[in-house]
Amino acid sequence: MDFEKLVPILRRLALEAGDRIMAVYDGPDFEVKSKSDNSPVTAADEAADAVISAGLCAAFPDLVLVTEEQAATHAQRASTFLIVDPLDGTKEFVQRRGDFTVNIAYVENGVPLRGVVYAPAQGRLFYTGADGRSVEETGPFAKDSAGPVTPLSVSRPDNSALMVVASKSHRDAATDDYIARYALRDMTSAGSSLKFCLVATGEADLYPRLGRTMEWDTAAGDAVLRGAGGQVVRFDDHQPLTYGKPGWDNPFFIAFAPGVELKR
Protein backbone atom coordinates (compact mmCIF):
# COMPACT_ATOMS: atom_id res chain seq x y z
CA MET A 1 0.00 0.00 0.00
CA ASP A 2 1.17 3.49 -0.86
CA PHE A 3 0.58 5.25 2.45
CA GLU A 4 1.54 8.63 0.98
CA LYS A 5 -1.56 8.26 -1.21
CA LEU A 6 -3.77 6.53 1.35
CA VAL A 7 -3.53 8.90 4.32
CA PRO A 8 -4.58 12.14 2.57
CA ILE A 9 -7.57 10.35 1.04
CA LEU A 10 -8.71 8.93 4.38
CA ARG A 11 -8.30 12.37 5.96
CA ARG A 12 -10.24 14.16 3.21
CA LEU A 13 -13.10 11.67 3.22
CA ALA A 14 -13.41 11.88 6.99
CA LEU A 15 -13.67 15.66 6.75
CA GLU A 16 -16.24 15.46 3.95
CA ALA A 17 -18.26 12.97 5.98
CA GLY A 18 -18.05 15.30 8.96
CA ASP A 19 -19.59 18.08 6.87
CA ARG A 20 -22.52 15.82 5.98
CA ILE A 21 -22.97 14.83 9.61
CA MET A 22 -22.91 18.39 10.91
CA ALA A 23 -25.47 19.52 8.32
CA VAL A 24 -27.93 17.14 9.97
CA TYR A 25 -26.71 17.78 13.52
CA ASP A 26 -27.09 21.56 13.21
CA GLY A 27 -30.40 21.34 11.43
CA PRO A 28 -33.95 20.83 12.69
CA ASP A 29 -35.09 17.63 14.37
CA PHE A 30 -34.11 14.50 12.42
CA GLU A 31 -35.61 11.05 12.20
CA VAL A 32 -34.02 8.26 14.20
CA LYS A 33 -34.62 4.76 12.84
CA SER A 34 -33.73 1.39 14.35
CA LYS A 35 -31.58 -1.19 12.61
CA SER A 36 -32.10 -4.94 12.93
CA ASP A 37 -29.97 -5.00 16.10
CA ASN A 38 -32.05 -2.13 17.56
CA SER A 39 -29.15 0.31 17.31
CA PRO A 40 -30.08 3.79 16.06
CA VAL A 41 -29.35 5.12 12.58
CA THR A 42 -29.99 8.57 11.14
CA ALA A 43 -29.72 10.39 7.83
CA ALA A 44 -26.30 11.56 9.00
CA ASP A 45 -25.01 7.97 9.25
CA GLU A 46 -26.29 7.26 5.75
CA ALA A 47 -24.97 10.47 4.18
CA ALA A 48 -21.53 10.02 5.74
CA ASP A 49 -21.39 6.42 4.62
CA ALA A 50 -22.29 7.37 1.06
CA VAL A 51 -19.49 9.91 0.69
CA ILE A 52 -16.85 7.69 2.32
CA SER A 53 -17.81 4.56 0.40
CA ALA A 54 -17.88 6.33 -2.94
CA GLY A 55 -14.51 7.94 -2.29
CA LEU A 56 -12.80 4.77 -1.13
CA CYS A 57 -14.19 2.64 -3.96
CA ALA A 58 -13.04 5.20 -6.52
CA ALA A 59 -9.54 5.53 -5.06
CA PHE A 60 -8.96 1.88 -4.13
CA PRO A 61 -11.21 -0.27 -6.33
CA ASP A 62 -9.20 -3.43 -5.63
CA LEU A 63 -9.43 -3.20 -1.83
CA VAL A 64 -12.22 -4.86 0.12
CA LEU A 65 -14.39 -2.30 1.89
CA VAL A 66 -16.31 -3.19 5.04
CA THR A 67 -18.67 -0.57 6.40
CA GLU A 68 -21.13 -0.73 9.27
CA GLU A 69 -24.01 0.73 7.30
CA GLN A 70 -23.86 -1.78 4.42
CA ALA A 71 -24.71 -5.25 5.64
CA ALA A 72 -23.74 -6.75 2.29
CA THR A 73 -20.11 -5.82 2.94
CA HIS A 74 -20.02 -7.83 6.19
CA ALA A 75 -19.85 -11.16 4.35
CA GLN A 76 -16.51 -10.30 2.75
CA ARG A 77 -13.21 -11.76 3.90
CA ALA A 78 -9.72 -10.56 3.06
CA SER A 79 -6.36 -10.17 4.77
CA THR A 80 -6.18 -6.53 3.65
CA PHE A 81 -9.21 -4.26 3.81
CA LEU A 82 -10.64 -0.85 4.62
CA ILE A 83 -13.14 -0.67 7.47
CA VAL A 84 -15.49 2.21 8.19
CA ASP A 85 -17.86 3.44 10.85
CA PRO A 86 -19.22 6.60 9.24
CA LEU A 87 -20.77 7.85 12.48
CA ASP A 88 -19.53 6.19 15.65
CA GLY A 89 -21.49 7.24 18.72
CA THR A 90 -24.92 7.65 17.14
CA LYS A 91 -26.46 7.77 20.63
CA GLU A 92 -24.29 10.79 21.44
CA PHE A 93 -25.27 12.31 18.10
CA VAL A 94 -28.99 11.81 18.72
CA GLN A 95 -28.68 13.40 22.17
CA ARG A 96 -26.56 16.22 20.67
CA ARG A 97 -23.72 15.57 23.10
CA GLY A 98 -20.94 16.00 20.53
CA ASP A 99 -18.94 12.85 21.38
CA PHE A 100 -19.31 11.19 17.98
CA THR A 101 -16.68 10.43 15.37
CA VAL A 102 -15.99 9.41 11.80
CA ASN A 103 -13.78 6.32 11.71
CA ILE A 104 -11.85 5.01 8.71
CA ALA A 105 -9.04 2.45 8.95
CA TYR A 106 -6.77 0.34 6.78
CA VAL A 107 -6.09 -3.18 8.08
CA GLU A 108 -3.40 -5.58 6.93
CA ASN A 109 -2.93 -9.10 8.30
CA GLY A 110 -5.08 -8.41 11.32
CA VAL A 111 -3.39 -5.13 12.27
CA PRO A 112 -4.92 -1.64 11.81
CA LEU A 113 -1.93 0.12 10.27
CA ARG A 114 -3.49 3.49 9.41
CA GLY A 115 -6.59 5.25 10.64
CA VAL A 116 -8.38 8.55 10.99
CA VAL A 117 -10.74 9.61 13.76
CA TYR A 118 -12.59 12.88 13.24
CA ALA A 119 -14.87 14.42 15.87
CA PRO A 120 -16.57 17.17 13.85
CA ALA A 121 -18.62 18.67 16.68
CA GLN A 122 -15.49 18.99 18.81
CA GLY A 123 -13.18 20.10 16.02
CA ARG A 124 -10.65 17.36 16.78
CA LEU A 125 -8.90 15.37 14.05
CA PHE A 126 -6.55 12.48 14.78
CA TYR A 127 -4.80 10.24 12.27
CA THR A 128 -1.76 8.13 11.56
CA GLY A 129 0.60 9.73 9.11
CA ALA A 130 2.20 8.00 6.16
CA ASP A 131 5.10 7.08 8.46
CA GLY A 132 2.74 5.35 10.89
CA ARG A 133 3.11 7.93 13.63
CA SER A 134 -0.05 9.50 14.97
CA VAL A 135 -0.81 13.21 15.05
CA GLU A 136 -3.60 15.58 16.00
CA GLU A 137 -4.21 18.30 13.44
CA THR A 138 -5.25 21.80 14.43
CA GLY A 139 -8.17 23.29 12.51
CA PRO A 140 -9.56 24.85 10.47
CA PHE A 141 -9.27 21.80 8.27
CA ALA A 142 -8.71 22.29 4.55
CA LYS A 143 -9.83 19.28 2.57
CA ASP A 144 -6.78 18.94 0.34
CA SER A 145 -3.92 20.08 2.55
CA ALA A 146 -3.09 19.29 6.15
CA GLY A 147 -2.66 22.08 8.65
CA PRO A 148 -0.39 22.21 11.71
CA VAL A 149 -0.05 18.88 13.48
CA THR A 150 1.06 17.82 16.94
CA PRO A 151 2.75 14.41 17.27
CA LEU A 152 0.93 12.17 19.71
CA SER A 153 2.58 10.16 22.45
CA VAL A 154 0.99 8.17 25.23
CA SER A 155 1.57 9.07 28.87
CA ARG A 156 4.15 7.66 31.23
CA PRO A 157 1.64 6.24 33.67
CA ASP A 158 1.90 6.39 37.44
CA ASN A 159 0.27 3.20 38.66
CA SER A 160 -0.55 4.85 41.98
CA ALA A 161 -2.54 7.58 40.22
CA LEU A 162 -3.97 6.47 36.88
CA MET A 163 -6.32 8.44 34.68
CA VAL A 164 -9.05 6.19 33.28
CA VAL A 165 -11.50 6.91 30.50
CA ALA A 166 -14.67 4.83 30.14
CA SER A 167 -17.69 4.75 27.90
CA LYS A 168 -20.30 7.46 28.31
CA SER A 169 -23.23 5.38 27.05
CA HIS A 170 -22.17 1.81 27.88
CA ARG A 171 -20.87 1.86 31.45
CA ASP A 172 -21.91 -1.12 33.54
CA ALA A 173 -21.19 -2.73 36.90
CA ALA A 174 -18.60 -5.10 35.42
CA THR A 175 -16.61 -2.18 34.02
CA ASP A 176 -16.81 -0.29 37.30
CA ASP A 177 -15.69 -3.38 39.22
CA TYR A 178 -12.69 -3.77 36.93
CA ILE A 179 -11.71 -0.11 37.16
CA ALA A 180 -11.89 -0.40 40.95
CA ARG A 181 -8.87 -2.75 40.84
CA TYR A 182 -6.65 0.21 39.95
CA ALA A 183 -5.41 3.17 41.98
CA LEU A 184 -6.92 6.18 40.25
CA ARG A 185 -6.05 9.84 40.06
CA ASP A 186 -9.33 10.51 38.29
CA MET A 187 -11.78 9.08 35.79
CA THR A 188 -13.55 10.64 32.85
CA SER A 189 -16.08 9.47 30.30
CA ALA A 190 -16.24 9.93 26.55
CA GLY A 191 -18.26 8.59 23.67
CA SER A 192 -17.26 6.72 20.54
CA SER A 193 -13.64 6.13 19.51
CA LEU A 194 -12.55 9.33 21.24
CA LYS A 195 -11.58 7.14 24.20
CA PHE A 196 -8.71 5.64 22.19
CA CYS A 197 -7.61 9.12 21.19
CA LEU A 198 -7.57 10.36 24.79
CA VAL A 199 -5.15 7.56 25.63
CA ALA A 200 -3.13 8.39 22.49
CA THR A 201 -2.77 12.04 23.52
CA GLY A 202 -1.80 11.18 27.09
CA GLU A 203 -5.03 12.64 28.47
CA ALA A 204 -5.82 9.17 29.87
CA ASP A 205 -3.74 6.11 30.72
CA LEU A 206 -6.28 3.32 30.46
CA TYR A 207 -9.52 2.50 28.63
CA PRO A 208 -11.12 -0.86 29.47
CA ARG A 209 -14.13 -2.04 27.45
CA LEU A 210 -16.14 -4.88 28.93
CA GLY A 211 -18.95 -4.74 26.46
CA ARG A 212 -19.84 -5.56 22.90
CA THR A 213 -18.09 -3.67 20.11
CA MET A 214 -17.55 -4.32 16.43
CA GLU A 215 -14.32 -3.98 14.49
CA TRP A 216 -15.54 -0.85 12.68
CA ASP A 217 -16.05 0.76 16.10
CA THR A 218 -12.42 0.28 17.11
CA ALA A 219 -10.07 -0.11 14.14
CA ALA A 220 -9.39 3.58 13.47
CA GLY A 221 -8.97 4.48 17.13
CA ASP A 222 -6.78 1.43 17.63
CA ALA A 223 -4.55 2.56 14.75
CA VAL A 224 -4.24 6.06 16.21
CA LEU A 225 -3.37 4.67 19.63
CA ARG A 226 -0.79 2.23 18.23
CA GLY A 227 0.79 5.06 16.25
CA ALA A 228 1.18 6.99 19.51
CA GLY A 229 2.93 4.11 21.27
CA GLY A 230 -0.13 2.58 22.93
CA GLN A 231 -1.50 -0.93 22.91
CA VAL A 232 -4.87 -2.66 22.66
CA VAL A 233 -5.17 -6.19 24.03
CA ARG A 234 -7.88 -8.73 24.65
CA PHE A 235 -9.30 -8.60 28.15
CA ASP A 236 -9.12 -12.37 28.69
CA ASP A 237 -5.51 -13.17 27.81
CA HIS A 238 -3.85 -9.77 27.18
CA GLN A 239 -2.94 -10.77 23.63
CA PRO A 240 -3.12 -8.09 20.90
CA LEU A 241 -6.56 -7.35 19.53
CA THR A 242 -6.74 -8.47 15.91
CA TYR A 243 -9.02 -7.63 12.99
CA GLY A 244 -10.76 -9.59 10.26
CA LYS A 245 -12.51 -11.94 12.71
CA PRO A 246 -15.60 -13.90 11.64
CA GLY A 247 -18.66 -11.79 12.29
CA TRP A 248 -16.55 -8.68 12.97
CA ASP A 249 -17.27 -8.91 16.71
CA ASN A 250 -14.58 -7.85 19.18
CA PRO A 251 -13.92 -9.54 22.50
CA PHE A 252 -13.69 -7.39 25.61
CA PHE A 253 -10.46 -5.40 25.43
CA ILE A 254 -8.13 -2.99 27.24
CA ALA A 255 -6.48 0.02 25.57
CA PHE A 256 -3.60 1.48 27.53
CA ALA A 257 -0.28 3.26 27.70
CA PRO A 258 2.64 0.87 28.19
CA GLY A 259 3.66 0.92 31.81
CA VAL A 260 0.16 0.42 33.12
CA GLU A 261 0.21 -2.72 35.26
CA LEU A 262 -2.78 -4.53 33.84
CA LYS A 263 -5.10 -6.35 36.23
CA ARG A 264 -6.93 -9.56 35.54
Confidence band (pLDDT; 50, 70, 90) for 96?
confident
Is residue 101 within 8 A of residue 118, CB to CB? The reply is: yes
Global pTM reads 0.95
* Mean per-residue pLDDT, 208-230: 97
- Quick one: three-class SS letters along 115-137? EEEEECCCCEEEEECCCCCEEEE
What structural domains and CATH numbers belong to the chain?
3-151 (3.30.540.10), 162-256 (3.40.190.80)
d(CA 202, CA 256): 10
Q: What is the pLDDT of residues 131-181, one digit of tens each?
A: 999 999 998 999 999 999 999 999 999 999 999 999 866 678 889 999 999
Least confident stretch, 5-9, 72-76, 189-193, 228-232? 189-193
pLDDT above 70 for 191: yes
φ/ψ of 65, rounded to 5, equals: -115, 125
d(CA 21, CA 88): 11
Predicted local distance difference test score (pLDDT) of residue 94: 84
Closest C-alpha among 130, 116, 131, 128 to residue 152: 128
φ/ψ of 253, rounded to 5, equals: -145, 170
Question: 137 or 33: which carries more pLDDT confidence?
Answer: 137
Confidence band (pLDDT; 50, 70, 90) for 95?
confident
* Mean per-residue pLDDT, 238-252: 97
Predicted local distance difference test score (pLDDT) of residue 255: 98
* Mean per-residue pLDDT, 109-123: 97
Q: What percent of the chain shows pLDDT beyond 70?
A: 97
